[in-house]
Copies of this chain bind each other. A is one copy, B any other.
Amino acid sequence: MFAKTPEPPYYAVIFTSHKHAHEGYDETSDRMLALAQTQDGFLGIESVRGEDGVGITVSYWRDLESIARWKAHGEHRVAQQRGRSDWYSAYVTRVCKVERTYDFQA
């Protein structure tokens, strides 16, 4: 549920989206999650989607190079294209450097 990330600095990719169609989405999403986890530099992922179709997925990466490689990965590029043609009405991707963290456990 919470990504087990190292001490900063590392990078986060915040992907905020609105999904308006579902056909084939879950299979591709599951496959991309499994594939991301095998990529060099992948640190973890957190993802939530509400009933209104709005979702926030944050993936964590060691450096900008690993983010660029994942963005350019062939199978991921096909999935991104399907995202634009089939599933998402809109999205914003923000690439960020994580500088500080605080956590709490009851």
The interface of chain A, by Cβ under 8 A from chain B, is: 1-3, 5, 8, 12, 14, 16, 18, 20, 46-51, 54-56, 58, 84, 88-106
Contact = CB atoms under 8 A, between A and B. Distances in A.
Contacts of A95: 98-101
A4 B97 CA distance: 20
A103 B104 CA distance: 32
Given A1-B54, A46-B56, A90-B105, 11 more contacts: A2-B18, A16-B46, A48-B48, A49-B50, A56-B56, A92-B102, A92-B104, A95-B100, A95-B101, A96-B97, A97-B97
A84 B96 contact: no
5 contacts: A1-B54, A12-B14, A48-B55, A49-B50, A96-B99
